[in-house]
Amino acid sequence: MKFAVASLFAGLALKAAAAATTLDQLASSVDKTESIREIKDVTATFAQLAQFGRYAEMAALFASDGLLVWGNASAKGPDTIRQWLTRDAGDMNGIQPGSLDAIVIATPVVNLAPDGKTAKGRFNGLRFQGDGKGNTRMQGGIYENEYARVDGRWKISVLRYYALYEGNYADGWRNIGHENLGPPPPFHYTPDEAGTPVPLSTVTDKASGNTTDFRTLQYRIDKLNDEDEVRNLQHAYGYYVDRRMWNDVVDLFGNQSGTIEIDNVGHFEGPQRLRTALEQWMGPEGLGQGVLNEHLLFNTIVSIRSNVSLSINNTGIEKLADSRGLEIGLIGDAAKGTASWRFSIFRNTFAKSDGIWRMLNVSISPIMVANYSGGWSNGSMFPSPATISLDKPLFLDYSRDETGKAPMLDGVASLEELERRLNRSAAYDGVENVSNAYGYYMDFIDGKACADMAALHAQEGNKESPFAGFYQTPRRIREACTAAYGTGEITNRSGVSFHWRPQPVIHVSHDGRSANLRARLLQPATGKAAGSAQLRGGMYQDQMALEDGIWRLWSVTIDEFYWGVSSWKDGWSGVKPRAANASNPAPRDLIKQYPPDLLLTEMGDPRETGFQGGSGRYVAWPEIQRMWFGYQNPVSGRVPESYWPLCVPCQHRPEWKLSQHGWLEPPAGPPWI
């Protein structure tokens, strides 16, 4: 069943524009925005608990009549679900010494029903398991979950995992049943719905609880805004780590006495020691040729502490926040032929002073460090399995019950100002939604998906077709897509290259109507044949705009690929460098068939130099390609070496700028509000 979201939301938006927002309407909108966050957090918690074999707590996240459907298996009710989870994991449960159960649930498109009582969410899934005794399992697929609000808390009513690929570590994954893949798992949304922001509510649509107290509302909206900034910091930190940009990482701590603690490695305090910790754990500043230091961040929960004034008087700190999630390190040095996996749990603390969020304490708990060659089949090389704590790091409470917690606030904002601030947080979720919706259509690309993908774009929006160039307007984007993939529907395909867009850094403009987005491209690929597992990565640098009440893609740029495997067996360090004199790959046929509005070659030096289809010599992994950043350091404002802010093609097509079409350009450096 689909919710009639688009028409209904449009009606509400009109009403809201006509009549001034009331406190009750604002309260209900806050409640809905919080609901979307809590639904994401419940889902991340399900994933986080698995690593520690806490199946009873995972089952307790379900409603009393909750249903789990995992591939061809199913279980109903928390107790049966607990039993199934326990039995299915067996010794691959994170408890058995040397075992691993790393569940990744990423890239949400969350849809709240208009009454705010139920919701649906689509996610990408991967699961890496091992028992430490030689047995491994990898699973990949897509979740289409349902959620319900029970006694004020969001619960999972249906967790439906569509199993698409699986395998053991040594052989890599391949399609389930070694068959062709059918059509994509059903979508619960249309392109319009994916971009429909949280609606303002009618007065009769009251939020639950007595949330209409003005002070409490302001406090809750502040928390949502803080959460966005902290999540951006966490994710931006990850991107600096990938490139070993230690100057930028240290900047994120500001001048406060921050700490980095790595279990079984050490405790490091103060700017100089922070750098020592980073170098000791991950190597020197910068990436030499052939070095991979990817740290993919998943299942991230951010929680703003409620009780700060109790604990940190006289420190100048106004607020504290915590983050927790899973970090999957893909480490290697192709020149030496070494490669390894590093699975860790991170739990970090952030502090706000002078109105600026900074990192305070970083805590990394490695749970599995394994050579690429043998993987995690025989357990962790470091730390020794026996020393891995099952109680640490602590889980985060994502509860959003703020009853009685709001302190006296110094300044009280107007209702309109509060609504503006809330709009900025609602934008964060709307942008993430439409970004991920794009990825899901690209996965199972065919004529139908081309139309849906193109419809996600704004009327004057533009998108890059890889290795070719940019097309402007949904019609041109659709036709370029069908020129490459045909107009028909494909219901039976031998393989899929997935387009995950995790770890977003989203900078929303002052009025909440436009945004910049950086997100990873993570591309697990699967096929029917043995040995078809692949994994590679790139980077998206996009802009989004709220057009007629719906979030749309304004500009989509893909910088790819930065790294990858040529075969699962050889891994990322087994890729042979291209010969220095090798000629560049031939231009895509698309360029002749359906010429782009802006060719990558026209963009020339420096933006597209070295990328496939760009100018100059093609730089392919394991050579290191330049990494572009669209924003300055979020704390210090340090300008990155390769800096290309805002809409990427707009330096060559100024008429494509957001600001030429009635939108604000989102900020590319501090201050972020």
Residues whose CB is less than 8 angstroms from the CB of residue 531 and which lie 6 or more positions away in sequence, other chains included: 171, 172, 174, 567, 568, 569
Nearer to ligand NAG, 36 or 345 (CB): 36
Task: Provide, rounded to whole angstroms, the least separation between the CB of residue 116 and ligand NAG.
Answer: 11
Residues whose CB is less than 8 angstroms from the CB of residue 652 and which lie 6 or more positions away in sequence, other chains included: 598, 602, 603
Q: Is 496 left (phi over 0), alpha (psi -120 to 50) or beta?
A: beta
Task: Give CA torsion, residues 429, 399, 143, 208, to 10 deg.
Answer: -70
Of residues 17, 203, 412, 530, which one binds ligand NAG by CB under 6 A?
Answer: 17
Using the contact rule CB under 6 A, the part of the chain among 96-104, 189-197, 324-332, 466-474 near ligand NAG is 189-197
Under rule CB under 6 A, residue 272 binds ligand NAG: no
Smallest CA-to-CA distance from 110 within 33, 164, 184 is with 33
Using the contact rule CB under 6 A, the part of the chain among 195-203, 468-476, 497-505, 643-651 near ligand NAG is 195-203
Smallest CA-to-CA distance from 354 within 668, 670, 638 is with 670
Cα dihedral across residues 181, 187, 191, 196: positive or negative? negative
Under rule CB under 6 A, residue 423 binds ligand NAG: yes
Under rule CB under 6 A, residue 501 binds ligand NAG: no
Under rule CB under 6 A, residue 111 binds ligand NAG: yes
Tell me if the bond preceding 350 is cis, omega within 30° of 0.
Answer: no
| DSSP for residue 651 | G
Under rule CB under 6 A, residue 606 binds ligand NAG: no
Q: Residues 623 to 652: which contact ligand NAG by CB under 6 A?
A: 635-636
Smallest CA-to-CA distance from 281 within 241, 250, 319, 320 is with 241
Distance CA 515, CA 663 (A): 10
Under rule CB under 6 A, residue 320 binds ligand NAG: yes
Nearer to ligand NAG, 196 or 218 (CB): 196
Nearer to ligand NAG, 465 or 633 (CB): 633
Task: Provide, rounded to whole angstroms, the least separation between the CB of residue 366 and ligand NAG.
Answer: 15
Are 120 and 144 spatial neighbours (Cβ–Cβ below 8 Å)?
Answer: yes
Of residues 197, 466, 469, 564, which one binds ligand NAG by CB under 6 A?
Answer: 197
Are 415 and 29 spatial neighbours (Cβ–Cβ below 8 Å)?
Answer: no
Under rule CB under 6 A, residue 565 binds ligand NAG: no
Of residues 204, 272, 414, 581, which one binds ligand NAG by CB under 6 A?
Answer: 581
Using the contact rule CB under 6 A, the part of the chain among 37-45, 107-115, 231-239, 443-451 near ligand NAG is 107-115
Under rule CB under 6 A, residue 369 binds ligand NAG: no
Task: Provide, rounded to whole angstroms, the least separation between the CB of residue 222 and ligand NAG.
Answer: 15
Under rule CB under 6 A, residue 416 binds ligand NAG: yes
Q: Residues 137 to 156: which contact ligand NAG by CB under 6 A?
A: none
Q: Is 378 left (phi over 0), alpha (psi -120 to 50) or beta?
A: alpha
Q: What angle do CA 203, 209, 214 make, to 5 degrees?
A: 65
Backbone angles phi, psi at 231, to 5 degrees: -60, -40
Give per-residue burial for 26-44: e unless 16+ CB within 10 Å, then b. Answer: bbbbbbbbbbbbbbbbbbb
Under rule CB under 6 A, residue 378 binds ligand NAG: yes
Interface residues with ligand NAG (CB under 6 A)?
5, 13, 16-17, 36, 71-72, 109-112, 134, 163, 166, 176, 180, 189, 193-194, 196-198, 200, 210, 251, 254-255, 259, 305-307, 309-311, 313, 320, 338, 349, 360-361, 371, 374, 377-378, 381, 397, 416, 419-420, 423, 426, 429-430, 433, 492, 511-512, 549, 551, 579, 581, 583, 635-636
